């Protein structure tokens, strides 16, 4: 299982690269704003390039800002020209429930890496996977990455953690059963260390974890106390060895 960092902060991303805990990055305009990026679309593009260069060949997942099919395709093409390791996030439907699979299919056929996102059901996930596979089977140039993002936290809020676990695990079983080897499941909206523990047992390929949740996941109730005891014991032992 891989970990993607949900951030647009270069120093934060560097930190987790140095820890070996960053196999990719996901971002969006809201995250960019939180990380101090200002200057509109040009500033977002510049930060996108900076992150992509920092983490390559690992994937950077970036988000379109429209639900209009033509605008989605235009933005995705623009993003794809910025770096080879970019995957473009596109929601499975628009805000009215209309399918965005036509744009996803077209872009995948063009060899553009796509992350179909904002999914909360098994049916959405397998339909997205089928569209991605159909697209890259017809592509002259195969996409470098193909992702389907299931929002575990949002499912949990509405239907409970058991249902979220079931959706993610059943999707992974389906992908394996039908040989969808080139499509990876990303679990998004990971909000707590408990989510990390649960979703990592579903067979998901990737967890997208915000830095604050990653930091909390390193904490253990007795770890600091144990380390302090180790150091104290070692110091006493070294003093005895000198005698």
* pLDDT tens readout for residues 2-42: 999 999 999 999 999 999 999 999 999 999 999 999 999 89
**pLDDT score recorded for residue 44:** 94
**CA 130 – CA 217 distance, rounded (Å):** 34
Mean pLDDT within 216-232: 90
pLDDT at 221 over 90: no
- Among the listed residues 74, 89, 169, 236, the single catalytic one is 89
- Predicted TM-score (pTM) of the model is 0.94
Closest CA to 4 of 194, 145, 214, 175: 214
Q: Give the pLDDT of residue 141.
A: 85
Q: Are 27 and 60 in contact (CB under 8 A)?
A: yes
Mean pLDDT of 141-151: 95
Greatest C-alpha distance within the chain? 79
- pLDDT higher than 90, residue 63: yes
Reported as type and span, the H/E element at residue 122 is: helix 122-138
Average pLDDT over residues 148-171: 96
User: Is 89 considered catalytic here?
Assistant: yes
Q: What is the CATH number of the domain that holds 137?
A: 3.20.20.70
User: What are the CA-CA distances from residue 118 to residues 43, 189, 227 (Å)?
Assistant: 25, 9, 41
Cβ atoms of 200 and 1 closer than 8 Å? yes
User: pLDDT at position 124, please?
Assistant: 98
Q: Shortest CA distance to 61 belongs to which of 98, 25, 13? A: 25
Please tell me the total count of domains within the chain.
Answer: 1
Percent of the chain, pLDDT > 70?
100
Cis peptide before 9 (omega within 30 of 0): no
* Residues in Cβ contact with 81 at an 8 Å cutoff, skipping those fewer than 6 apart: none
Over range 195-207, report the average pLDDT.
96
What is the Rg, in whole angstroms, of the alpha carbon atoms belonging to the chain? 20
| Residue 148 burial (CB count, 10 A) | 26
State the average pLDDT for the chain.
Answer: 95
Contacts of 129 (CB under 8 A, 6+ apart): 148, 171, 174, 175, 180, 183
Tokens of 238: 């070294």
Instruction: Evaluate whether 32 touches 10 at the Cβ level (below 8 Å).
Output: no
Alpha-carbon span 152 to 205, nearest angstrom: 13
> What pLDDT, on the 0 to 100 scale, is given for residue 220?
87
The candidate with the shortest Cα–Cα distance to 145, out of 52, 68, 15, is 52
Domain that holds residue 39: 2-241
Tokens matching residue 237 = 């032992």
Provide mean pLDDT across the span 49-61. 98
pLDDT in tens, 79-124: 999 999 999 999 999 999 999 999 999 999 999 999 999 999 999 9
């Amino acid at each position: 299982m891989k970990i993607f960092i949900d951030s647009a902060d270069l120093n934060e991303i560097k930190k987790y690269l140095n820890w070996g805990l960053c196999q990719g990055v996901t971002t969006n305009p809201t995250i960019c704003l939180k990380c101090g990026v200002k200057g509109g679309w040009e500033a977002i593009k510049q930060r996108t390039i900076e992150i992509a260069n920092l983490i390559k060949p690992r994937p950077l997942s970036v988000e379109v800002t429209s639900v209009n099919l033509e605008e989605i395709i235009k933005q995705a093409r623009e993003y794809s020209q910025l770096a080879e390791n970019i995957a473009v996030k596109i929601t499975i439907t628009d805000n009215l429930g209309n399918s965005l699979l036509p744009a996803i299919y077209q872009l995948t056929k063009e060899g553009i890496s796509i992350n179909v996102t904002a999914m909360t059901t098994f049916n959405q996930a397998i339909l997205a996977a089928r569209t991605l596979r159909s697209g890259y089977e017809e592509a002259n140039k195969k996409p470098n990455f193909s992702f389907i993002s299931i929002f575990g936290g949002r499912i949990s809020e509405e239907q409970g953690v058991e249902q979220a676990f079931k959706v993610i695990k059943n999707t992974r079983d389906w992908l394996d059963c039908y040989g969808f080897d080139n499509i990876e499941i990303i679990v998004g909206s990971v909000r707590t260390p408990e989510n990390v523990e649960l979703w990592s047992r579903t067979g998901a390929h990737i967890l997208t974890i915000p830095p604050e949740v990653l930091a909390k996941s390193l904490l253990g109730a007795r770890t600091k106390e144990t380390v302090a005891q180790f150091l104290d014991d070692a110091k006493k032992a070294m003093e005895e060895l000198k005698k």
